[in-house]
Structure 1
């Protein structure tokens, strides 16, 4: 509006117009700050109104913060009483955690990523398209109607757009995989041959969930004992396994055409991949549960909901932070029973909670269901003692005589 007024009162066409004068002092900053604090992004002039643009990261505990970072929010309407989108889908195996989901109306809609997943980002499409053409993909404009409808030629679809047709889809898919394993194209490009639809799908776009698997040749895994020794000694890294074509990332579509064995003893000549470690089907928080396969399934889900609320330390720099509210446990302890996930995510270094010594009493005597009788002496010795830290802001004023508050 200010710009329109300035332009209408301009003395002549040739006189200079400075747009910076029309901008309020920190209009953009105020708008972004409002978005970050209220989660809503709105510009009245262009009728832009987006909700849920930002989320406040949960910092109640270290593991709660990790869990929040791996959360997947749904686009589905939560009020509808439909069970299908809430159910566990077979295609989610090892991509999304089967235990970690909230109870109540969002059950099964809010999910969490599994341990070894990777969410892809966009890759440049131009070089991949020209590579496909070099590998024998023919444009549809060059083919006759007879050639278009032959049963042996497959349609090649690249990121949802039709690229052309290929006469030998199996050979084309194998060539693309060889190039990916050799590191000539991105490691997250996926090639999926759909025989039913007579299509070859190639995807290099962002937002796909992938996970790493060990490549198998005729039932023998490529990762050998000496590779593992080199990894332990620090000679090799995880990235070296990728570049040396020992492991590769597969997304949901390409997994459809793979035969994956859980352990190397189960691999047959048909097997294409082996799981790196079966416990990675769980997420960060479900991985903290020791022996989860011995529990009734809902118990694991309850633990995922309550495990994030355990009080402990949130970070190493907790005493120098500016969080508005901090809960700190005075004597946090490491869990007595540890799991591989606990070591991987560093929960043993920043634990939450304390190991209570429990006395089991007679069944019919002084028993309470789902509650505990606390020992006063242990509370006096500091069991479960915590510190609550709040942030207060104060303004340091300048006075007219040049003095200032300290």
Structure 2
């Protein structure tokens, strides 16, 4: 009679490393699953998500347009009036957005024609850099929700060095940029250290650090070292510390955009060509397996957050040295939170983030022109932005609406 090999008893099954904190063990965590599901959609799904958002936005435009509302009162008597008013409302709104974000084809000179795209690039610059930092953390399996605070700290130190130090041009700018990078890296490193050493969840820690950074800046703007007069506003940074304009005084586009391109190239090299980037991705995919392979997971967590925060700090430095020129308590606006959106839109890939930042910046700039030109509420733009994120974060929903097949190689549980 042939012998059969009995399965190993349950007691001999591999036992997870008890020394590994629960939040780092394996890939079964909900956070890692969400990140993987968001990353499953392709370029086509992204485009369709944007189209869906525009369609829903068009419906909202029709609901708030007074001419459409009036024509809807007698739609059965004269339906042509309703459809004509509907077409005019939507086309006028979206054409105004295009003129404000890309090119103003109604302009009478070349400067006016190209100014919209330069404004889009200016607004997108800090968004792209900060989103790259958020993406580094995402790729390593961490949620850096503290980009807002890191942007604030980067802007604070860069601005302080800009209006207090007196150095030659070029050298002064370099020191200010380095100051922003260091401040953002240290601020995020606090969260990385606490996670690595104590298991504190990075989402909670970074959110709390956002508030600390905001209130710290508000306090500093009341001190004699930062404030000017009775206004919560710092002195302007010296001209030697300002990012040079790329197209002359008639445009706001500055060298920060070149830094955004350089940052995208750096993150691409870091995550795909460097050893440390491989460790980041390995820990993000399976922290337990990475530890078994000999990687220092706790040190990697700290390094990931430092790199992520350094990029966010650089974004804050470009904001104060290139666009605003002085510090206020609103220097960051919603930049850090928008960066999370841009990172998701770009699927945490440098090229995707670059174009997602331009798209997001264009929606913001074009939305203001749309509001002024047509009276369409700016809230419509915010709805479109939110819907784009919603649809992109749910590729199965987009595929279901357009009856698209699931990508090959994905299980039904992920891609359905």
Fold shared, TM-score > 0.5 on shorter chain: no
Q: Answer with 1 or 2: which has the greater Rg.
A: 1
Identify, as 1 or 2, the structure richer in strand: 1
**Which protein has greater RCO, CA pairs closer than 8 Å, 6+ apart?**
2
TM-score (ref. length: structure 1): 0.26
TM-score (ref. length: structure 2): 0.26
